[in-house]
Amino acid sequence: MKILKKESDDILVIASPRERVHIGDYLVASESQRSLVLQVYDERYLDVEGIEEEIAREEVLSASAPGFTSDPTELATISTLIRDTRILLCKARGTISGGRLTPRANWMPSRTNSTVTRLLVEDLAVSVAPLGVRNIRVGTVDNESSFGIPAEALDGRITVITGRKESGKSHLAKILLRGLLENDAYSVIFDLNDEYGTIGRRVDGTETGEAKKVKVLRPGRDMKFSLAAVGLRPITNLLSHSLEMPGTSLREFVKIWEQLDNRDELTLATLESGIQQWRCNEFVRDALFARYHTLASCGLFTDSTHQQFDLQDFFTLNRSGGALVVSLSGVSPLNRRMVVELILSKLVELLERRKIPPVFLFAEEAHLYLRDTYWEDLITRMRHFGVFTVFVTNQPDAIDQKIYRQVDNIFLYNFSNDSDLALISQASMADSDTVKAIVRTLPPRMCLLLGYAVRNLPVVVNVDPFDSPATGLTRRFFEDSIELSASAGRPAHPS
């Protein structure tokens, strides 16, 4: 391979057909003292003068007179090689000198003296200082070498996993989650499709070492809250944001609450009689009652002490980390929002008081239950306190551009839709040419990893299979005919 030319910030490398280089691979243009690290983001044929005419002529000839033509000087071979010669479009990613990589890429290697060779990701990794020691294996790179990210790269960071439907996003989220569990971290998962409960089990049904750390709870069934344990702040948040309670009524509510709390009598029953007896305007009383009845009938609250869920207990009972899977499937949209609100505000409160260690939050399709104002809160204030979110979505436009700018790691699966591509290429931390060209060509189960975890050196990863029972599959009407045909080894409808 040789450097051909530089066009704006692209470096064009000419490669013979025998060279096994793919989009996403790294190359290195070496001179005596230093070398420029390049990444291939696209490729095209070498366009030599008259080559199209030659190909057309040959095609016409072979169609009209099929058979052998003698070619004693093997000119055809050379001509074929030229026709298949590729131009690799590369971006410079940095300079290696003295064995260390720096992001400087403002020089041009000599076209005559430099040699261009493949640079494997594992060799590239040697030239940067590691981010941590707790490796989470994600898949393979460069065909066969193992690739993982340090758990530390998710710690204190915001991560986004996005790609089109059924590209493998939840699959990857589960790999990361199991990796975090193996490193004794705590996670809370907002699970929309009942996918994460099996994370502690293998395909054959046996349990992994982490199975005991996974707890699945269904809001309204085995996850009910007591008013006293939730506390005033989360409840007022919920009343004003999820139940849109006006300010005047909220002030009266706080007074009633404080009175009951001072007497240590805070229950659903006493709250009802408290509102009944409170001296206030009838409109305010109506507003209070309306919200009270929503709280009382939503099934999320209880006065019975043995049914109550205490978030802090989850942490104290699982000393070596755990995954709290909040199953939101089958929960009404209003209850979803209330539960998420309650859990997030309780988490922040416990973190503020340093009662619990930092937590990783996995949020699938968060726009379905996360109130608008919470997004910024999650990535700024909550992250500061110790809630590190992994957003998983197949709708990149559901996440605001402001949020993307704060994101540290992005795992990108295939998108072919132009508007999604434009959005995601603008939002991500790599240049938009790279993102657009690579993401468009990504086959299923491969993703482009950008950002902090890979030190801003984009890497295309072939994600591993995950040893866990299949969950979250879309129900199908014709399921049994697929099963029958699979077991009989023949098509369901022979024709």
Ligand X SMILES: Nc1ncnc2c1ncn2[C@@H]1O[C@H](COP(=O)(O)OP(=O)(O)OP(=O)(O)O)[C@@H](O)[C@H]1O
The dihedral through the CA atoms of 395, 239, 245, 248 has a sign that is negative
The least CB distance from residue 364 to ligand X, in Å, is: 7
Q: In the bound complex, which residue of the shown chain has the CB atom lying closest to ligand X?
A: 168
Cβ nearer to Mg ion, comparing 166 with 313: 166
Contact 359, 386 (CB under 8 A): yes
Contact 371, 241 (CB under 8 A): yes
Cβ nearer to ligand X, comparing 163 with 322: 163
The answer to whether residue 166 forms part of the interface with ligand X (CB under 6 A) is yes
| Pattern 390-419, ligand X, x by CB under 6 A | ----x-------------------------
Q: What, of Mg ion, ligand X, none, does residue 463 touch, CB below 5 to 8 Å by kind?
A: ligand X
Please count the other Cβ atoms lying within 10 Å of the Cβ belonging to residue 46: 16
| Pattern 51-80, ligand X, x by CB under 6 A | ------------------------------
Answer for which of 109, 168, 219, 451 binds ligand X (CB under 6 A) is 168
Binding segment for Mg ion among 46-54, 70-78, 117-125, 167-175 (CB under 5 A)? 167-175
| Pattern 190-229, Mg ion, x by CB under 5 A | ----------------------------------------
Residue 436, φ and ψ in degrees, nearest 5: -60, -50
The answer to whether residue 170 forms part of the interface with Mg ion (CB under 5 A) is yes
Cβ nearer to Mg ion, comparing 15 with 214: 214
Rounded to an integer, what distance in angstroms lies between the CA atom of residue 198 and that of residue 209? 13
Helix axes 282-297, 247-262, angle to 10 degrees: 70
Answer for which of 165, 306, 476, 493 binds ligand X (CB under 6 A) is 165
Alpha helices in 162-267 (DSSP H): 169-182, 227-230, 232-237, 247-262
Rounded to an integer, what distance in angstroms lies between the CA atom of residue 284 and that of residue 280? 7
Rounded to an integer, what distance in angstroms lies between the CA atom of residue 69 and that of residue 57? 14
Q: Which of 463, 459, 465 is nearest to 120 (CA)?
A: 459
Would you list the DSSP string of 357-398?
--EEEEEETGGGT--HHHHHHIIIIIHHHTEEEEEEES-GGG
Cβ nearer to ligand X, comparing 168 with 322: 168
20 burial level (CB within 10 Å; 0-12, 13-18, 19+):
exposed
Cβ nearer to ligand X, comparing 169 with 436: 169
The answer to whether residue 170 forms part of the interface with ligand X (CB under 6 A) is yes
The answer to whether residue 470 forms part of the interface with ligand X (CB under 6 A) is yes
Contact 55, 83 (CB under 8 A): yes
Answer for which of 215, 218, 285, 445 binds ligand X (CB under 6 A) is 445
The least CB distance from residue 147 to ligand X, in Å, is: 12
Q: In the bound complex, which residue of the shown chain has the CB atom lying closest to Mg ion?
A: 170
Q: What, of ligand X, Mg ion, none, does residue 171 touch, CB below 5 to 8 Å by kind?
A: ligand X
The least CB distance from residue 131 to ligand X, in Å, is: 23
Binding segment for ligand X among 2-10, 261-269, 398-406, 460-468 (CB under 6 A)? 460-468
The least CB distance from residue 463 to ligand X, in Å, is: 4
The answer to whether residue 472 forms part of the interface with ligand X (CB under 6 A) is yes
Question: Strand, helix or coil at 135?
Answer: strand
Q: What, of Mg ion, ligand X, none, does residue 18 touch, CB below 5 to 8 Å by kind?
A: none
Helix axes 51-64, 75-84, angle to 10 degrees: 120
Answer for which of 169, 178, 336, 383 binds ligand X (CB under 6 A) is 169
Amino acid at 383: R
Cβ nearer to ligand X, comparing 216 with 287: 216
Q: What, of Mg ion, ligand X, none, does residue 136 touch, CB below 5 to 8 Å by kind?
A: none
Secondary structure letter of residue 241 according to DSSP = I
The least CB distance from residue 334 to ligand X, in Å, is: 23
Helices (H) then strands (E): counts for the chain: 17, 18
Binding segment for Mg ion among 25-33, 66-74, 103-111, 163-171 (CB under 5 A)? 163-171
The least CB distance from residue 414 to ligand X, in Å, is: 10
CA 493 and chain centroid, separation: 39
Residue 229, φ and ψ in degrees, nearest 5: -70, -35
The dihedral through the CA atoms of 258, 264, 270, 274 has a sign that is negative
Rounded to an integer, what distance in angstroms lies between the CA atom of residue 189 and that of residue 339? 12
Amino acid at 286: D
Which residue is it, tokens 């969950």?
Answer: 471
The least CB distance from residue 395 to ligand X, in Å, is: 9
The least CB distance from residue 165 to ligand X, in Å, is: 4
Binding segment for Mg ion among 103-111, 162-170, 249-257, 334-342 (CB under 5 A)? 162-170
Query: How would you classify the pairing of strands 10-15 and 26-30?
Result: unpaired
Question: Strand, helix or coil at 95?
Answer: strand
Binding segment for ligand X among 41-49, 160-168, 259-267, 309-317 (CB under 6 A)? 160-168
Q: Which residues bind Mg ion (CB under 5 A)?
A: 170
Q: Which residues bind ligand X (CB under 6 A)?
A: 163, 165-171, 394, 445, 463-465, 470, 472
